Amino acid sequence: MTTLQTVFEKARADRRAALVGYLPAGFPTKDGAIAAATAMVEAGCDVIEIGLPYSDPLMDGPTIQDAVHRALVNGTRIADVMRTVEGVAKSGAAVLVMTYWNPIDRYGAERFARDLANAGGTGTITPDLTPEEAGPWREVSAASGIDTVFLVAPSSPDERIQAVAECCTGFVYAASLMGVTGARTSVGAAAEGLVKRCRAQTDLPVCVGLGVGTGAQAAEVAGYADGVIVGSAFIRRLLDAPDEASGLSAVRELASELAAGVRA
Amino acid sequence: MTIAEGSLITAADLVGGGVAGDDPDDRGRFGVFGGRFVPEALIPALDEVAKIYAEAKTDPAFISEFDHLLRTYAGRPTTITEVRRFSEVAGGARVLLKREDLTHTGAHKINNVLGQALLTKRLGKTRVIAETGAGQHGVATATACALLGLECVIYMGEVDCERQALNVARMKLLGARVVPVGNGSRTLKDAINEAFRDWVTNVDTTHYLFGTVAGPHPFPEIVRDFARIIGVEARRQVLELTGGLPDAVAAAVGGGSNAIGIFHAFIGDEGVALHGYEAAGHGVETGEHACTLTEGSIGVLHGSRTYVLQDDEGQTIESHSISAGLDYPGVGPEHAWLKDTGRATYHGITDAEAMEAFSILARTEGIIPAIESAHALAGTMKLGRELGPEATILVNLSGRGDKDMGTAMKYFNL
């Protein structure tokens, strides 16, 4: 299993930012998600976030909502998420699961952490779990040896950044702007300042997500962050593709463009 | 500034009046329920709302302004009406209706909305967003925004826009923008998701005027406190009329704001039974219902730990009710806590039972209730038969049925 620590050490040695790609399990199909995420790794993603499809994704924009809805219609279950993690981990990337809290809560936190570790997953990102509620999840994650990544936002005051960073292992996820997921024409102007404020509170790597979708944007973010996170732009490529083969080449092309960006 | 003599509301009324142990802890927990499960981006806004509300609820100027609006605009105090002909179908029990249907805009929702609209001003925000199911909260929000000069955007599921078309027109007439929500089940839960997405994007200028006692802390507490006047008034009125407290208080439960509103002043009265009636839709055995407390399990939905209709992997199950206002797969965390502590009891009422009660109240008393409220009336018919003619039951008639005429015409072939 590739760990986040290894990923960031290697990226630092290469004097570049890490590239993190997101894709929900079960989208466009159960096997299609494994194939697409693997293609993303082959074309330059260092870390893959596998989204756990959830019925009420209240911090996601229309693109991810659409993909997640299709994944649920495809009958995607947590066992499929674990199988996706296992499949993608074989490619050599560090694989995280990004999920809202309720599916973990319902599945059983201890069981989820154990199953994820057994599948070769390296950790989770939980966007609606705040430090106040994160205690039990951090304990069982530590026991299973998986990382816990939480989010900070431009609205976070320094004391919240500190509290969130204390709960994080692996890296801190900095949301570039106030809003939902989705590619935008420009990365939030607040992102660079937020990364600086994070650095004042923690030695952990800081990755920036939300609104990043092009090589130029990746290069811009790589100028100040340790990692660049891209989700909706990959999904958009798959949604727009007329068939699975062209979808795969489209995500491969985007991953290459972004990988060049983080190395610029 | 002192509060005007004879005012409805005192600081004690607003904050709970010394009812022991019923305020959430500093994490917003009622027992194991409540809390905050939202993106970190919203935490500062929730902290700000909590802070401003904590200041407002003990500020005589704020209380006086809220009181003034309730009295001169909302039409408070609302009366209680004894319904003798209706009591014949309720085992002869003495039935008293708390007439929230007589408030301006026609439902109890106006109480919370006026309080939070004043809070919006105090927060220095100029734009208000809200979700709505039946449209009553949307109409009330649009009304308060018109009154106070606030920009107003209402999120409403497409299914609800259809079955409550009249309320959509009302909101538009009041100057609100109504955004139909076409994803998920296209009902209240999806309208809430969409409102949260708007809020996280526009939080600098915008207050999310949450319409029920659910959601992340501090909404369950704030909405309860602003709705609490229903029970505070009713308790005084019942005492005055009957010389004693009622044996039972009955209310419909969707998200739970009208029920908490009338229950809360009675929580400390051990002899008063509290009964909440959820929507059993086509019957719980069909799976098409909204019985969150009686059939659901503990989970997290819309920022709060509470009872949820969910499958074995935590995916929300779509609810069903003929009443848009009860068609919600979650419920306020304080109700979850009242259920688990045994202080309140919750039951399911089917669409058919509710529509029967709807029709009976119209024919026996000349009052057309909201279909939401008809669930409480149907529950009262059963409860009255159990308790017998010696019992007094206070029912929250949370809204009027004008908005439900389309549904009633179809249902009764009128």
- Residue B334 clears pLDDT 90, i.e. is over it: yes
Task: Give, rounded to a whole angstrom, the gap between the first and last alpha carbons of chain A.
Answer: 28
Residue A194 sits at the vertex; the CA angle it makes with A188 and A196, to the nearest 5 degrees, is 130
Best of A68, A100, A126, A130 to substitute, by most chain B Cβ atoms within 10 angstroms, is A130
Query: What pTM was computed for the model?
Result: 0.96
Helix, strand or coil for residue B327? coil
User: Residues near B13 by Cβ (< 8 Å), separated by ≥ 6?
Assistant: B228, B229, B232
pLDDT at B186: 87
Interchain proximity B44–A164, CB inside 8 Å: no
Interchain proximity B313–A128, CB inside 8 Å: no
Taking any CB pair shorter than 8 Å as contact, residues of chain B touching chain A are: 27, 35-45, 183-184, 189-190, 192-193, 196-197, 200-204, 297, 299-303, 308, 310, 312-316
- The domain locations on chain A are 4-262
- From the candidates B131, B233, B278, B365, which is the catalytic residue? B131
CATH class of A4-262: alpha beta
Interchain proximity B302–A152, CB inside 8 Å: no
Interval B209-223 mean pLDDT: 97
Tens of pLDDT, residue by residue over A6-47, are: 999 999 999 999 999 999 999 999 999 999 999 999 999 999
The closest of A194, A189, A240 to A211, measured between CA atoms, is: A189
Gap between the Cα atoms of B251 and B262, Å rounded: 8
pLDDT at B20: 46
Secondary structure (DSSP) of B111-168: HHHHHHHHHHHHHT--EEEEEESSSHHHHHHHHHHHHHT-EEEEEEEHHHHHHTHHHH
Q: Tokens 């408070």: give the residue.
A: B76
Average pLDDT, chain A: 96
B184 → closest Cβ in A55, A105, A180: A55
Interval A111-136 mean pLDDT: 97
Predicted ipTM beyond 0.85: yes
Interchain proximity B40–A105, CB inside 8 Å: no
Interchain proximity B37–A101, CB inside 8 Å: yes
- From the candidates B57, B98, B109, B382, which is the catalytic residue? B109
